[in-house]
Chains A and B, each alone.
Chain A
Amino acid sequence: MTVNRRKKPASVNPMKIGQSLGAVLALQGCYRAMPLIHGSQGCSAFPKALLTRHFREPIALQTSALQEMDVIFDANRNLEEALNLVLSKHRPDIIGIIGTELTDVAGVDYQNMLKTYKRERNMRGGLAFSVVLPDFRGSLESGFSSTVEAMIDEMIQQVGHRGTRSMNTRQITLLPGSFLTPADVMELKEIISSFGFEVIALPDISTSLSGHLLTGFSPLTRGGVPLDSMLQSLQSGLTIAVGGSMERPARRLHNAIGTPYKVFEGAMGLKATDELLHFLHQISGEPVPLRYCWQRENLLDSMLDAHFQFAGMSVLAALEPDHLYSVSGWLEELGVEQKALITSFETPLIAGMEREVWVGDLDDAEVLGKGADLWISNSHGIAGAQRTGTAFMPAGFPVWNELGAYMSVSVGYRGAMEWSNKAGNLLMQREAGHRESSVRHR
């Protein structure tokens, strides 16, 4: 319908997250990878701390550690030094060089530098790519999808031209969007493989940020999709992208090597899951596994149980674009009023939504969502929810006020059920609180 902005000069309580953090997140889903932020120290220290706080996992990340004079004179000398050190010391399979606003504004050409570097050192066997992600554009979501796209580009360049492609129709490449938790990615992989497909998730945070206990410390990523699987994914018969932002990398694969793709924009709720399962059923010819039929009934039953709780309630959601779209679809099914929808930046998916969406910050959420019963946003929203007396449900990134947030499921019937129950419980507790206080004050 319309995308609006409130007029104010400053951002107050930002929900936008720098693009480079999205890139770092994407690289955590690749095995033995090292994201390298080309910028000053803080530009890597902040994302590292924030990701650590959200996932409660060590995060692989390095920086070219630019200082004032480096920026002015020769920033790429630092990058070269960083590359030398990382390559000789840790031998990563994948290096992603992430350009920041600083290198952007200073006009540093690290793309060419990387090309020369690779040529001169005769670098083969690994993936090394760069991506330009200044923070004055986009947000976490765009940083994530651009990085996946750059990664795919590099893969195609490495093997794409080698002879004709042998296609494996039983293999699917899954491109999960940045808003999906490790548990979500796991759930999607399970759903797709239950129809008899091999799934390669790109990237795969479900095996790196889901909490495993490998011993033997390494500064590289400790899980995620290994390089050989990544390259093998070029043989997939189909790409499934989840989240509108992942359409571009899917299209890249299609244009370069002809892999057909299907995008699922919404990933939450009954209808979205129905669509996914129906699609998988059609392309595989396999029946929908019994457990999902069960789960569908479980979900419907729990929605019936909960609908009393949701009657007459209103919700505000402040999330990254794809996530907001998904959550809005689920809210629709609950029959609650969507009082305010706020997102970090405008995307085609958001522009095409049938509801009014605001591009803004958590202060806008506070103003526009006044009077809502439930507040859904990242943990930065807690203070605003408290000020407005709204029940708070953490979602998105970063979430630090809840254990295991990164393992909560939102996709599939199971995810919709988990979210509906969580939201319903919050509203129930709030109601109980109100009742108590009204008794006390009489």
Chain B
Amino acid sequence: MDPLRQDEFDSQACGSIAPKAKPCPRPKPGEAAGGCSFDGAQITLLPIMDAAHLVHGPIACAGNSWESRGALSSGPSLSQYGFATDLTDSDIIFGGEKKLKDSIDYIAGRFAPPAIFVYSTCVTALIGEDMDAVCKEAADRIGIPVIPVNSPGFVGSKNLGNRLAGDALLQYVIGTGEPEPETDLGVNLIGEYNIAGEMWDIEKLMNSAGIAVTSRITGDARYKEITWAHRARVNMVVCSRALLGLAKEMEARYGIPYFEGSFYGAKETTYSLRQMAYLMNDREMERRVDRLTEREEARLSQELRPYRKLLRGKRAVLYTGGVKSWSVISALKELGVQVVGVGTNKSTEDDVRRIADRVGDDTEYIPEGGASRMIKTVRERKADIMIAGGRNMYVAMKEQIPFIDINQERHKAYAGYEGLLRLAKELTYSLTNPIWKLAASPAPWDKEAPPYDR
């Protein structure tokens, strides 16, 4: 195992609650990848489906980013509208506050959302717009919450943006409402964004064990349910550590116990469900969870049998940019897939430790380096498949490496027992596709071309 590098330790600050202590490592000009904090804030808040999300800045921040995520909605779709103040030259010179105010009024009047989130961007932060004041004034005037999200792109990474969005929820949303009297209180799911509908699979599972979801923070959420998140009995931080601070703060303020867990892989899923029941301190619920997980695991192992045979011993390189690394490793291990390389570039120290717990000694750590480094690892470690974000998908295709998309934009849900089965199927389809043989064989008149080396 490679020794961990100093900057991996440094990046610890990105996941903990005290951000000022050690800043995240500075992105390297000419070699940087990944989104900005504004992006991160949107990832966290856009899944509040009935709210309006207004981007305060020139058009590109909103224009280039809306409708790019796979967070699904079971009902309202206002959050899929792209709202922007679309500042022009003269707005920049004379200030955009008037336009912001008018935009808020316009959206409130025409769409009547339960709340409006307003995002600052680099330019509006740079010219010193007083967004907080405008939002406050507007909220008082129109009578709905108008929430400033101060996370302009240039303050840092996506991760930081997630956290700043969490801060906005703490400051402006959580604790401002009360659940309806008949509501069955249970668990807040924090950091689960319903990518490809994963939230729905998770919720189904929880419900069949008799565990209620109190607030979704934020996958397929409604604004109102987040206002009463402080009434939940347990917080679960799902995979992403960026919102750990939110859970910690809620423990301090409201005394809600929290735990970190994941739904990738049967073991992790079972553990998470058990943990919920345990923290709720409910014997009957624990028994129900036991029965459910036993039944589900048995059914799953039955259904996985044909896929396991094919997947056993296959080698994968995992490059998810951090937060998901360790949880996906467990899922892969259960399928018999060996992780021979794993990207740790945005992982926190805790993440890295958890990765280390889950992989064998001969797994290579890829602390940085993007696509070329990844491909090198695939080649050197003789991997069969690459599992990474959509941005790298076509790089892998060019190199004719089987690929599974694991990020924000994907369309397949891999959470829970059902999800693990789906992952097994996807891996199998990908590995056995005839295209790999076809693409590797030269045209008949090109027989002298060197054979493809893999």
Interface residues of A (CB under 8 A from B): 8-21, 36, 39-50, 52-53, 56-58, 62-68, 70-71, 78-79, 81-86, 89, 100-102, 105-106, 134-137, 213-215, 217-219, 222, 363, 379-380, 383
Please indicate the chain B residues that have their CB under 8 angstroms from the CB of A43 in the complex.
36, 60, 122, 153
* 20 new A-B contacts at CB < 8 Å, known A14-B82, A21-B60, A137-B89: A9-B103, A9-B105, A16-B86, A41-B34, A41-B35, A42-B36, A47-B64, A58-B394, A62-B31, A63-B27, A67-B27, A84-B30, A101-B60, A105-B92, A134-B58, A134-B89, A135-B59, A136-B86, A215-B399, A218-B372
Contact A102 B372 (CB under 8 A): no
CA distance in complex: A219, B32 (Å): 12
Complex A-B, nearest 9 residue pairs according to Cβ-Cβ distance, in ascending order: A42-B36, A18-B60, A82-B30, A85-B30, A9-B102, A10-B103, A82-B29, A135-B60, A46-B64
Given contacts A136-B87, A213-B439, A217-B399, contact A380 B60 (CB under 8 A): no
CA distance in complex: A100, B61 (Å): 11
Given contacts A41-B36, A71-B126, contact A64 B155 (CB under 8 A): no
Please indicate the chain B residues that have their CB under 8 angstroms from the CB of A214 in the complex.
398
CA distance in complex: A13, B52 (Å): 12
CA distance in complex: A10, B372 (Å): 41
User: Of B39, B77, B86, which one neighbours A42 at CB under 8 angstroms?
Assistant: B39
Instruction: Give per-residue flags for B16-57: 1 if the beta carbon is below 8 A from chain A beta carbons, else 0.
Output: 000000000011111111111111000000000000001000
| Residues B217-266 near A (CB distance < 8 A) | none
Q: How far is the CB of B439 from chain A (nearest CB, A)?
A: 7
Please indicate the chain A residues that have their CB under 8 angstroms from the CB of B34 in the complex.
41, 45
Contact A53 B68 (CB under 8 A): yes
Contact B81 A12 (CB under 8 A): yes
Contact A50 B68 (CB under 8 A): yes
Tally chain B residues at the interface, Cβ within 8 Å.
Answer: 71
Please indicate the chain A residues that have their CB under 8 angstroms from the CB of B64 in the complex.
17-18, 21, 46-47, 50
Q: How far is the CB of B331 from chain A (nearest CB, A)?
A: 25
Given contacts A14-B82, A62-B30, contact A217 B398 (CB under 8 A): yes
Contact A81 B30 (CB under 8 A): yes
Please indicate the chain A residues that have their CB under 8 angstroms from the CB of B62 in the complex.
11, 14
User: Of A41, A70, A71, A100, which one neighbours B32 at CB under 8 angstroms?
Assistant: A41
Chain B residue nearest to A133 (CB atoms) is B60
Is B370 in contact with chain A by the CB < 8 A criterion? yes
Contact A10 B86 (CB under 8 A): yes
Please indicate the chain A residues that have their CB under 8 angstroms from the CB of B370 in the complex.
219
CA distance in complex: A9, B105 (Å): 9
Contact A56 B154 (CB under 8 A): no
| Residues B373-426 near A (CB distance < 8 A) | 375, 390-391, 393-395, 398-400, 409
Is B127 in contact with chain A by the CB < 8 A criterion? yes
Contact B394 A46 (CB under 8 A): no
Q: How far is the CB of A3 from chain B (nearest CB, A)?
A: 16
Is B281 in contact with chain A by the CB < 8 A criterion? no
Contact B29 A79 (CB under 8 A): yes
CA distance in complex: A13, B64 (Å): 11
Interface residues of B (CB under 8 A from A): 26-39, 54, 58-68, 77, 80-89, 91-92, 99, 102-103, 105-107, 122-123, 125-127, 152-157, 370-372, 375, 390-391, 393-395, 398-400, 409, 439, 452
Contact B89 A380 (CB under 8 A): no
Contact A14 B59 (CB under 8 A): yes
Given contacts A8-B106, A17-B64, A217-B371, contact A64 B30 (CB under 8 A): yes
Contact B66 A42 (CB under 8 A): no
Please indicate the chain A residues that have their CB under 8 angstroms from the CB of B371 in the complex.
58, 217, 219
Contact A12 B82 (CB under 8 A): yes
Chain B residue nearest to A77 (CB atoms) is B29
Q: How far is the CB of B105 from chain A (nearest CB, A)?
A: 8
Q: How far is the CB of B262 from chain A (nearest CB, A)?
A: 25
**10 CB-based A-B contacts, threshold 8 Å:** A9-B105, A10-B54, A36-B30, A42-B39, A45-B33, A52-B391, A62-B30, A65-B30, A85-B28, A101-B58
Q: How far is the CB of B220 from chain A (nearest CB, A)?
A: 17
Please indicate the chain B residues that have their CB under 8 angstroms from the CB of A11 in the complex.
59, 62, 82-86
Q: How far is the CB of B321 from chain A (nearest CB, A)?
A: 11
Contact B66 A380 (CB under 8 A): yes
Chain B residue nearest to A55 (CB atoms) is B394
Contact A213 B400 (CB under 8 A): yes
Contact A48 B82 (CB under 8 A): no
CA distance in complex: A363, B36 (Å): 27
Given contacts A67-B155, A71-B154, contact A46 B85 (CB under 8 A): no
CA distance in complex: A44, B155 (Å): 15
Chain B residue nearest to A15 (CB atoms) is B63
Q: How far is the CB of A168 from chain B (nearest CB, A)?
A: 33
CA distance in complex: A78, B86 (Å): 27
Given contacts A17-B64, A41-B153, contact A10 B85 (CB under 8 A): yes
Please indicate the chain A residues that have their CB under 8 angstroms from the CB of B59 in the complex.
11, 14, 16-18, 135-136
Q: How far is the CB of A80 from chain B (nearest CB, A)?
A: 8
Given contacts A17-B64, A41-B36, contact A102 B375 (CB under 8 A): no
Chain A residue nearest to B93 (CB atoms) is A105
Chain B residue nearest to A219 (CB atoms) is B372
Contact B123 A383 (CB under 8 A): no
CA distance in complex: A155, B122 (Å): 33
Please indicate the chain A residues that have their CB under 8 angstroms from the CB of B26 in the complex.
65, 67
Q: How far is the CB of A43 from chain B (nearest CB, A)?
A: 7
**Most B CB atoms within 10 A — which of A41, A71, A213?**
A41
